[in-house]
Amino acid sequence: MSKSLIQYIISFLVLCGMLCPSMVYADYETGGVTKTILSNGVTLLVKQETESKTVAVEVFVRTGALDENPGNTGIGQLLAGSILAGTTTRSTGRLSRLVAEAGGNFHSQWQWNYTEVYAVTLPSASLEAVSIIADSIQNSSLDPQSIEYSRSTILKEIGRQEDDPFNSAYTSVRSQLYSGTPYGRPYLGKAEIIRRITSEQVRAFYQKNFVADRIVVSVVGSVDPDAVARKVETCFKNMSMGFVEPKPVSSLSPAGRYVQMKKTGAASYIMVAYPAPGVEDKDYMAMCIANVLLGGNKSSLLFTRLREQKGFGYQVGSQYPAFIGRGHMIEFLGMDSSRATPETVKSVESAMIDQAGFLMRGEFSDKDFDRAKKYLIGKHALNHERIRDRAFNLGWAETMGLGYQFDLPMVYSEAVNKVTRDDVIRVCKQYLSDPVALVYSGNEDK
């Protein structure tokens, strides 16, 4: 039976009074997700999947770059790297045994707009996993040894990323776009600052920012939603409130011609960056479609015209990261440094800017426009294959201010499909007309 026929039958039954509209739309509105907000502001999302053999527990703390300052850049990374090492209520040995008994994987990581702590385990151990994560979030011991280990790991990763030409170029682009703001700092922080951050500073940052009304818990798998709700209530009920909304990045540095030449290794990157709407902006989805058209897949303008037709580079595309406040989009092209002559660089940069011009003038076919929409919807579906992905995406949408419903397949598809060609052209004219260009180039190592 076709989908359209099913919808017709449902509509007919509703008109005849044989089905209550709330019965028809209830699952559509919630996606089978139970949402609970505790009295202290902790938000809980539970989606029962009775056939799943594992359970994913995702906890988001809305603590990120906006909570740091120029003097402690990287402190969030230090905190995320040491938060699971032990708690004040459980010794490291006991915590390790509990983790082993729960099985699965327990991890934490810092992102631009939140800190994430998660576990994937068996249904029989899911409540214990909630307990372990809740204890770590509220009572992490943050002992000097675990902080030093985290510091050492981060410093090594900073060195590795500084040697990566793409990351170096992107960091330089972002520092130009967001000059003087939290998003303009290196993702991992600055090595010289991380070296001097003390254990006391990490604990003070933790106590200030890890509060109840910043927390979103997302649980997906073969669980009893009521049992999970009771467990979360028990584990988090004594956690205090104290959330103060950090001021978002509301504007970017004035765009202009910015060219930086540096020596790299065998690879060089040319990047062109633009301001863009933040994830909570009404134009977010239109810019997502523009990104696909520009360089988001192998049928995009950048890929077909710069790589396939002109033979520029070996890695080409565009990215549109999801940021709260003000976002950005980058075009990038990687090539052998031996080919990155000033003349070639100028030609590539001009060609990249031209592709954005095609979007502003609406020089893309209806077929390309429809393909971009289908690509986004298909990618959204593929990003939900694993149980951890499904728990993550639910919690991410709630944490970023979109509401968990944004992640539901029908809601997401509707958001994509309601964007018109005129919407894309308007948004491109608004944001892509004044690029910031960066050339990260150099000579091939001998």
Condensed to tens digits (0 to 9), the pLDDT of residues 14-48 reads 334 443 333 333 445 778 999 999 999 999 999 99
Helix/strand/coil for 262: coil
Q: Is 258 contained in some domain? A: no
317/409 same-domain check: yes
Residues 102 and 193 in one domain: yes
Q: How far lies 277's CA from each of 19, 292, 367, in Å?
A: 41, 15, 25
Q: Is 446 a member of any domain?
A: no
Same domain, 302 and 184: no
**pLDDT of amino acid 2:** 43
Q: Are 243 and 41 in contact (CB under 8 A)?
A: yes
Rg (CA), the chain: 24
Do the domain assignments include residue 261?
A: no
**Which of 192, 221, 236 is the endpoint of a domain?**
236
Instruction: Looking at the structure, tell me whether residues 10 and 112 fall in a common domain.
Output: no
User: Token pair for residue 293?
Assistant: 């058209």
Containing H/E element for 29?
helix 21-30
Same-domain check for residues 112 and 193:
yes
162 belongs to a structural domain:
yes
- 1 shares its domain with 61: no
What total number of domains does the chain contain? 3
Residue 247, in any domain of the structure: no
Does a structural domain hold residue 245?
Answer: no
Q: What domain range includes position 108?
A: 31-236
Residue 128 and residue 26 share a domain: no
Residue 99 and residue 179 in one domain? yes
Flag whether 123 is in a domain.
Answer: yes
**Does residue 50 share a domain with residue 18?**
no
Do 149 and 272 lie in one domain? The reply is: no
> What letters, b where the CB count within 10 A reaches 16 and e where it falls short, cover 298-324?
eebbbbbbbbeeeebbeebbbbbebbb
Q: What is the pLDDT at residue 446?
A: 35
Q: What CATH number corresponds to the domain at position 155?
A: 3.30.830.10
Q: Is 242 part of any domain? A: no
Q: Quote the pTM value.
A: 0.88
| Co-location of 26 and 67 in the same domain | no
Helix, strand, coil % (nearest 5) of the chain? 50, 15, 35
- 142-167 residue pLDDT tens: 999 999 999 999 999 999 988 888 88
Give tens-digit pLDDT for 317-344.
999 999 999 999 999 998 888 888 888 8
The number of residues in the chain equals 446
Q: Are residues 310 and 367 in the same domain?
A: yes
- pLDDT by 10s per residue, the chain, length 446: 444 444 444 443 433 444 333 333 344 577 899 999 999 999 999 999 999 999 999 999 999 999 999 999 999 999 999 999 888 887 666 656 656 666 667 899 999 999 999 999 999 999 999 999 999 999 999 999 999 999 999 999 999 988 888 888 898 888 888 888 899 999 999 999 999 999 999 999 999 999 999 999 999 999 999 999 999 999 999 998 886 677 677 666 655 556 665 655 778 888 999 999 999 999 999 999 999 999 988 888 998 888 777 778 788 999 999 999 999 999 999 888 888 888 888 888 899 999 999 999 999 999 999 999 999 999 999 999 999 999 999 999 999 999 999 999 999 999 999 999 999 999 999 999 888 877 775 544 43
